[in-house]
Copies of this chain bind each other. A is one copy, B any other.
Amino acid sequence: MNFDIRMAHLFSSLDDNQVRQVMESSHISTFQDGESLFETGDEANRFFLVIGGQVKLFRVSSNGDQKIIDIIQPGNTFAEALMFMEHPIYPVCAEALGPAKIISFDCKRFLQILSQSFSVCFRIMGTMSQRLRGLIKEIDDLTLQSATTRMCAMLLRRMEEIGKSHFTLPAAKGVLAARLSMKPETFSRILQNLSSKNILNTKGNEIQVIDTELLRSLAHLESVLGLEPEVHCTLSGAKSLHSD
């Protein structure tokens, strides 16, 4: 059960003594699939570190749709930014995606430690700064890009993460669809479409990328645009299935 929290970026510059202090106010818990950690609007007096499984952060619209903001992987913290607000309120819901093991920390306690160490402060600011950047990227993905583009970018990211052209999708298709802000039907159709263009093969949750270059050019239209004039931009709707 001894997990060194210094594996997480956020804690990486704590000394042994500080780690001990932080751990004093921590709880380890396990969550079932779908179990809630907190909801939008709850008072935020703890933050979290995922040490096993996954946690999805999402918001719910009035009609019940979920928009998944992020899927937190083991070794990562979340909700730590709220610590610095006057009236900390979680802006999202969090729930376990599959069984998950999570450590939670008391915000006040952690702030005390922060006020002893500039290097930890700076590290936190670095983390927050990266998140900001990520969200900005996300916003322009959402507005500037089509569903197909988002799909391709996600596949590429995953592919480069794994390092092989054959890989497994990191979550159920429905979940990924929500992450990419599209309906499961659309997700399915786009995958189907990419497959019919011989850009990739798919079997269940397994993906085999065939034409990486084309995938890349679809992911960020700016770069290779024009390499494949037949296909470049207009690959998208189900209607173009028979177009070549």
Cβ 8 A contact of A132, one of B67, B114, B132: B132
Q: Which residues on B sit within 8 Å (CB–CB) of A65?
A: 144
A contact residues, total (Cβ < 8 Å): 45
* Residue ID in chain B nearest A137 by CB atoms: B91
Residues in A26-69 with C-beta less than 8 Å from chain B: 59, 61-63, 65, 67, 69
* Residue ID in chain B nearest A131 by CB atoms: B132
Whether B62 pairs with A220 at a CB distance below 8 angstroms is yes
Assuming the contacts A84-B126, A126-B84, asked whether A142 and B139 have C-beta atoms less than 8 A apart, the reply is yes
* Residue ID in chain B nearest A144 by CB atoms: B61
Assuming the contacts A125-B125, A129-B81, A222-B62, asked whether A67 and B140 have C-beta atoms less than 8 A apart, the reply is yes
Whether A84 pairs with B181 at a CB distance below 8 angstroms is no
**Cα separation A59 to B129 with both chains bound (whole Å):** 18
Interface stretch of the complex, out of A115-123, A190-198, A206-214: A115-123
Does A162 sit within 8 A of B, measured CB to CB?
Answer: no
Whether A139 pairs with B139 at a CB distance below 8 angstroms is yes
Does A225 sit within 8 A of B, measured CB to CB?
Answer: yes
Whether A81 pairs with B132 at a CB distance below 8 angstroms is yes
**Cα separation A139 to B178 with both chains bound (whole Å):** 13
Q: Which residues on B sit within 8 Å (CB–CB) of A114?
A: 118, 121-122
Instruction: Give me the interface of A with B, judged by CB distance under 8 Å.
Output: 59, 61-63, 65, 67, 69, 81-86, 91-92, 111, 114-115, 118, 121-122, 124-126, 128-133, 135-140, 142-145, 181, 220-222, 225
Given contacts A59-B136, A84-B126, A135-B139, 7 further A-B contacts (CB under 8 A): A67-B144, A69-B140, A85-B130, A132-B132, A135-B138, A139-B139, A139-B142
Could you jot down 14 A-B contacts, CB within 8 Å?
Answer: A59-B144, A61-B140, A61-B145, A67-B143, A81-B133, A83-B125, A84-B122, A85-B130, A114-B122, A121-B122, A128-B128, A128-B129, A132-B132, A135-B136
